[in-house]
Structure 1
Amino acid sequence: MTADDERENSPGGYGTPEDDQGFYASYESKEILGSGLASTVRRCIEKGSGASFAVKIVDVSTEKQSDKDARRLYEETISEVKILRQLAGHPSIIAIHDFFETPSFLFTVFEMAPKGELFDQLNATVTLTEKKAKRLMKQLFEGVKYMHENRIVHRDLKLENILCIDDERIVISDFGFAMILPDEKLLKDLCGTPGYLAPETLRCQMYEDAKGYGLEVDQWALGVILYTFLAGYAPFYHRRQLMMMRLIQEGRFEFRREQWDSITSECKELVSLLLTVDVAKRITAAEALRHPWMAGVGEAVVIEQRKTRKSDKRRLFRHAIIWVRFFIRLSNYRKFSQVIDRDAVKKRPFRDREIRHEAESAMFCVYGHWVNRGFHYSRDMLFANAPRPKHKREATVQSG
């Protein structure tokens, strides 16, 4: 069946005359990339340019849902479009290309994300190097900084809502829960995913006199993301959700030796500053970009060079040669044979990083979700209440 045939036979007004004057007049609908309860994401081709995009089609009819749910979906989609147009042009935020509205469906056209969700990329690698994590976090910090400068809070930052445009560029997507906050206004409604919820969000659900929450919830979510990048598991996960909520409210997490011994102290400090319960002390995205861990070796060298007098240039050159030799030897470290105690590996095989990565990657490929390995490795419940169906894991663009 062709796309046109499917459109004509689809229920809920998919082939109504007004569609021909809107989305379908300008785009050719292609295969399904992902789907949600009331939305479908398809690849589409712009007829005028031949360029590929992704269109999220949201069903706002009342044939399969209540008037209340249809109205909520309509308002969320319109709000998302408004916010994305306000944030248009930033490289770390998904670009909206077009929008069409009919009585039954809303069509939002986005840039394509061929590499899929960052969640899937992490599944394939288990953890990231500090260098890679730093490049990704820089983009996320810059995107959140721009959002907050415009008084926009995302409220649902997570790995599934970060899309990979290519091997280097990532973008923040899914602004369905995002809101524009007037000055001094705080929110109290519960939005987001359990593993990413900030303590102040949970307090609003437990205490009637809770103050509320604001832009800072996004910084907390970034802390969860950075921790997960480097550890391979969530900082506050527990099988019992009530216990997990308690860990979050207390900000109780740890840098376990097996995963964090090789991570720099500057990185651990930044994670701790992001996962700070006291909102007033929690570091902002703008401050995180100026943190020593984000500045990196290259910037520090430039600053130091500016301070160096001309008479010290020869000494600096000699030191540079020594550092180059050191890094060359360091890069070849993995090529050297390592002595491994066979008995120790039998008792604790996951203590070896390479063995752990290979085993966990294989388990994910076989079972389609992370197999539980004790308290800290319940990866099947990492950021959602249940493993996602296969067709959703394979979605390569923003999915409702």
Structure 2
Amino acid sequence: MLSKLLRQILGRGLASTVRKCVEKGTGQVFAVKIVDVSTERQSQNEAERLLNETISEVNLLRQLADHPSIISIHDFYQAPTFLFAVFEMAPRGELFELLNKSVTVSEKKARRLMRQLFDGVAFMHEKLIVHRDLKLENILCIDEERIIISDFGFATQLKPGQRLTELLGTPGYLAPEILRCQMYEDTDGYGLEVDDWALGVILYTLLAGYAPFYNRRQLIMLRMIQEAKYDLHSEQWSHITDEAKDLIKNIFVVDVSKRFNALQCLQHPWMVGVSKEIAAEAVKKRDFRRIWRRSIHLARFFIRLTNIKNLKVLVDRDLLKQRPFRDREIRHLSEAAVFSVYGHWVNRGYYYSRDLLFANRPRPRYQNPEVQMVAA
């Protein structure tokens, strides 16, 4: 650890701290996660659990090394009372923060982001590794185009045919089969498919700006997840293409045998961006006069497009009072203003939802993610 110089704090957890660090030899910047495994502030069992979870996370990441959509681990050090895991640095922070600034993203950008996530999850699933906590906060931005999957604390590697039953994850991203494990004893458990469901939640949130399954009454929210009840018909979805909606419908399927996995999502028409190519007519004879006319018409066309884009459209005041969110631009401006002013109020902890900005009652807080959820 002497080869690295620790700098400012990037984040804190219950028993860990993430700091920026610089490698002295190369000057390369990394993020180091420092985990306290001493027994001064925690019991022996808790210290051993943290030790085992951190070592398991490091081992899983080493199996996933060199994939561009998964955070890479640079080094790992183990001391008697602390663990040091050195990770790739993500200068742009969380995808959560990016979405808080822009509220929604365009379909083109959402497609670029989701292609990386689907590709990374497909690579994980090939090795039978399930993440179990995919969410906006655990997606980090390297730059404007590249994102990576991080935080493999809940991840585990399955044996062939193995099913899980533990309640782990974030409620808004939980798949129906995880909830069934907590309600019924005769369930088959869950597997890799829970990550595909969580990716659907991320895609929905990127396009709409809010979570697909949220209600201030937690029991209703859990019922919405179990029945896959979500909205694709509100005004926020009026400008979204049918192909994007179709992909979401194929992900939010309660029956895991019919739910799209990451590979199937990559092959979906919305992800592939298939469009009919119009074959250019072969030019038998060069007619420079015709080419010149077409160039003039094309230039005029682009000038008109620019003028239309910059044209200020007047909005009827009475109509605006009755339906203020009917106009897409006004809706986006108002939502962006809300999140820029009150976005810091959103708790990015275990029970997170962007819709909480519009809730008028506090949520229950649970310290242990293994505790079963109770209706508010």
TM norm. shorter chain > 0.5: yes
What is the letter of the counterpart of residue 116 of structure 1?
Answer: G
Change (3 A) 1:119 1:265: same
What is the letter of the counterpart of residue 341 of structure 1?
Answer: D
Offset of residue 314 of structure 1? 5.4
Q: Deviations over 1:314-361 (max 9, x none)?
A: 59xx9x999999898667643223231111112232332222222222
Find 1:184's aligned residue among 151, 157, 161: 161
What is the rounded CA distance, in whole Å, between the counterparts of 2:303 and 2:121 in structure 1?
A: 36
Change (3 A) 1:330 1:378: farther
Q: Deviations over 1:5-46 (max 9, x none)?
A: xxxxxxxxxxxxxxxxxx2x1111111111011100000011
| 1:215 maps to 2:192 | yes
| 1:358 maps to 2:333 | yes
- Kept in 2, the 8 Å contact 1:380–1:386? The answer is no
1:233-248 equivalences under 5 Å are 233-248=210-225
| 1:48 maps to 2:25 | yes
Q: Deviations over 1:119-138 (max 9, x none)?
A: 00000000111011001000
Offset of residue 247 of structure 1? 0.4
**Could you say which residue in structure 2 is the equivalent of 1:169?**
146
Change (3 A) 1:53 1:328: farther
What is the letter of the counterpart of residue 369 of structure 1?
Answer: W
Change (3 A) 1:250 1:347: same
- Kept in 2, the 8 Å contact 1:258–1:351? The answer is yes
Change (3 A) 1:73 1:385: farther
Change (3 A) 1:137 1:329: farther
SS of the residue corresponding to residue 345 of structure 2 reads coil
What is the rounded CA distance, in whole Å, between the counterparts of 1:335 and 1:145 in structure 2?
A: 42
**Could you say which residue in structure 2 is the equivalent of 1:393?**
none
Offset of residue 313 of structure 1? 4.3
Offset of residue 179 of structure 1? 0.7
What is the rounded CA distance, in whole Å, between the counterparts of 1:253 and 1:323 in structure 2?
A: 44
| 1:340 maps to 2:315 | yes
What is the letter of the counterpart of residue 169 of structure 2?
Answer: G
**Could you say which residue in structure 2 is the equivalent of 1:19?**
none
Structure 1 unpaired stretches of 5+: 1-22, 388-400
Find 1:369's aligned residue among 342, 345, 349: 345
Change (3 A) 1:39 1:333: farther
Q: Deviations over 1:65-103 (max 9, x none)?
A: 122221111111111100100000000000110000011
What is the rounded CA distance, in whole Å, between the counterparts of 1:59 and 1:360 in structure 2?
A: 40
What is the rounded CA distance, in whole Å, between the counterparts of 2:298 and 2:253 in structure 1?
A: 36
| 1:121 maps to 2:68 | no
Cα RMSD after superposing both structures:
2.8
Change (3 A) 1:133 1:100: same
Change (3 A) 1:340 1:102: same
Offset of residue 221 of structure 1? 0.3
Offset of residue 62 of structure 1? 1.1
Offset of residue 261 of structure 1? 0.8
TM-score normalised to structure 1 length: 0.81
Change (3 A) 1:30 1:355: same
What is the letter of the counterpart of residue 51 of structure 2?
Answer: Y
TM-score normalised to structure 2 length: 0.86
**Could you say which residue in structure 1 is the equivalent of 2:257?**
280
Change (3 A) 1:329 1:250: farther
Offset of residue 279 of structure 1? 0.3
**Could you say which residue in structure 2 is the equivalent of 1:153?**
130
**Could you say which residue in structure 1 is the equivalent of 2:370?**
none
What is the letter of the counterpart of residue 364 of structure 1?
Answer: F
What is the rounded CA distance, in whole Å, between the counterparts of 1:333 and 1:62 in structure 2?
A: 67
Change (3 A) 1:165 1:153: same
- Kept in 1, the 8 Å contact 2:346–2:354? The answer is no
- Kept in 1, the 8 Å contact 2:73–2:88? The answer is yes
Change (3 A) 1:150 1:334: same
Percent of aligned pairs with the same amino acid: 61
- Kept in 1, the 8 Å contact 2:10–2:20? The answer is yes
- Kept in 1, the 8 Å contact 2:103–2:339? The answer is no
Offset of residue 47 of structure 1? 1.4
Structure with bigger helix share is 1
**Could you say which residue in structure 1 is the equivalent of 2:79?**
102
Change (3 A) 1:265 1:64: same
Find 2:181's aligned residue among 204, 225, 229: 204
Change (3 A) 1:331 1:68: farther
**Could you say which residue in structure 1 is the equivalent of 2:374?**
none
Find 1:378's aligned residue among 356, 364, 371: 356
What is the rounded CA distance, in whole Å, between the counterparts of 1:323 and 1:291 in structure 2?
A: 34
**Could you say which residue in structure 1 is the equivalent of 2:37?**
60
Find 1:224's aligned residue among 201, 214, 218: 201
- Kept in 2, the 8 Å contact 1:363–1:370? The answer is no
| 1:349 maps to 2:324 | yes
What is the rounded CA distance, in whole Å, between the counterparts of 1:323 and 1:182 in structure 2?
A: 60
